[in-house]
Structure 1
């Protein structure tokens, strides 16, 4: 699979989030600005919507509009989850520097969304960060909805991971979120992670949480690592090297394999969606690999077989 939305003049599709809803698979993704002959407006980053019957072939079906004042500079990097037969999308504002924050919207049909009246619903506090929150991912665990986000150090140089939570019976408004700790839960330490850990993609397996994350800024190259937790807050890396590396010279993802999203289908197969390119970010594509599991450790399963 290699998918890109070309509606704005070039292949440009980043930051995937995939759910199963009403008999189809739905993908929400970052859609790039208009270029070339398609430059009919000055809209920046937006969120596109595509559907599929098989996780391989995708059809674009719409966009989430930037129709609120706080969205005027753009929105992107959605995280998605189905709760009570509704799709909840947690996304970020874009272009506001340290003021970018996480917003929330909900849909009954996958394409038409109602924005949370308290948006943005979350940004971190405390001296350990600069107040920015991007790259949301959410998961239900131990009776709460956990929100993973990327933020930066006070100087705005180092990207790192944080976490907040809200009650499942809440409306996920701003006052419902509790920041779970006053420090990064995952901070770049390994050489390949360079100065950035972002784009948490979390799944549960046998009572543990597994986080696939992007290490290094875009095209440095960004690659994907993996960590594990039993309490949703304290994380241990499973590997010292990337779990999923960028491609070899000449391959479609030579510049990076980054910004993961993990999806478990109805047959309990784990799929890892990610973005890549080979031109240092002029274009972007979404792809997918199957993940197998052996003794509590994930591996890239080229056969697609379930373990």
Structure 2
């Protein structure tokens, strides 16, 4: 080999080493993707709770048909952690009821009176997809609500679809924030329903709070979609972390605030958490937020990302701080 060829080879190997170290450095502290269904990391739509001393994360994962060994809709995965960064899968919630036969996904969870309450959507029925409810004493085995599905919206502003449930207690009532679409099925937007403080979350307790969208895509980066709302109370206000634009458009995370849960105002016309730069692990998107406040008061924003336009999906989190102006990303 000539000196020129040797120099080129050394330069190439050096470049590969640098890129390798760079790729590893780009990976966040939490970098979770379940491989049990597809053989590649594929986890979406995280929601996290603390229950009986452990952290539990519920997420959407693909479902495999045992007969054909092919993809057949969605189910919900359950992972456990002791530190919020390292996760181990401990269970799955598979379709059981007839209304779930095409799949279930996009969970939202809360703890009340020693039980985990899970709110999730049916899948594969498009405008007939609706919000369901189940509860558990151990966080793994769930009992379905006999009144399922518990909610879908009505009115000329919606096609009747309800997905991405988020249930949050505020001012002595429960708010169910959900995503729906317009009559054409093109524009995805947010709606809200309410239930009294003493509810057991059954269908008859939920009432559509307004006959219109409470947050719809308006900014250029939001495209045709606002979805995946995740809500927290701070400074006597509600803060909604939401996903703007459809998956890999890229989807990015924005923030809105409200004093009543019905009227919302964006904190910025720019994403709070944008997709990553080219070559990073989340260059295709940073999407579907899940805000979590630990028992010590610390707050973490969970979200999904990938860099291959959805061939794989990882879950991660970032620490969130708070000021009078609202949330910020802690370093």
Q: Which whole-Å CA distance do the structure 2 matches of 1:183 and 1:289 have between them?
A: 33
SS across alignment from 2:204: helix
For 1:240 and 1:189, the matched residues in 2 are separated by: 9
Matched, 1:249 2:271: no
Q: CA shift at 1:41, angstroms?
A: 6.0
1:29 alignment partner in structure 2: 59
Give the direction of change, closer, same or farther, for the CA distance of 1:6–1:247 in structure 2 (3 Å limit): same
Larger radius of gyration: 2
Give the 3-state SS of the residue equivalent to 1:92 in structure 2.
Answer: strand
State whether structure 2 residue 32 is matched by structure 1 residue 7: no
Q: How big is the shift at 1:42?
A: 5.1
How far apart, CA to CA, are the structure 2 residues paired with 1:176 and 1:264? 27
Following superposition, which runs of at least 4 residues in structure 1 exceed 2 angstroms of deviation? 37-43
Aligned residues: 301
Separation in 2 of the partners of 1:292 and 1:42? 40
Report whether the alignment pairs 1:18 with 2:48.
Answer: yes
Distance 2:43 2:63 in 1: 11
Q: Secondary structure at the match of 1:192?
A: helix
> Please, which of 109, 124, 128 is the counterpart of residue 157 of structure 2?
128
Q: Which residue does the alignment assign to 2:226?
A: 197
1:93 aligns with 2:122: yes
Q: Is the 8 A contact 1:264 1:271 kept in 2?
A: yes
Q: Deviations over 1:60-113 (max 9, x none)?
A: 001112011000100000000001111000000000010000000000000000
Structure 2: how far apart are the matches of 1:107 and 1:33? Answer: 22
Which residue number in structure 1 is paired with residue 19 of structure 2? none
Distance 2:239 2:77 in 1: 27
Secondary structure class of the residue paired with 1:47: strand
Counterparts of 1:83 and 1:105, CA distance in 2: 13
* Structure 1, gaps ≥5 residues long: 303-307
Q: Which residue in the other structure is 1:84 paired with?
A: 113
Residue number in structure 2 paired with 1:305 = none
Partner of 2:309: 280
Question: Separation in 2 of the partners of 1:254 and 1:38?
Answer: 36
Deviation at 1:155, TM superposition (A): 0.6
Give 1:43 shift: 3.6
Q: CA deviation at 1:208?
A: 0.3
**Contact 1:7–1:38 at 8 Å: present in 2 too?**
no
Q: Which runs of 5+ in 2 are unaligned?
A: 1-29
RMSD across aligned C-alpha pairs, in angstroms?
A: 1.4
| Shift, 1:34, TM fit | 3.4
* Structure number with higher helix proportion: 2
Distance, in Å, in 2 between the alignment partners of 1:54 and 1:177 is: 35
Indicate if the aligned counterparts of 1:50 and 1:59 stay in contact, CA closer than 8 A. Answer: yes
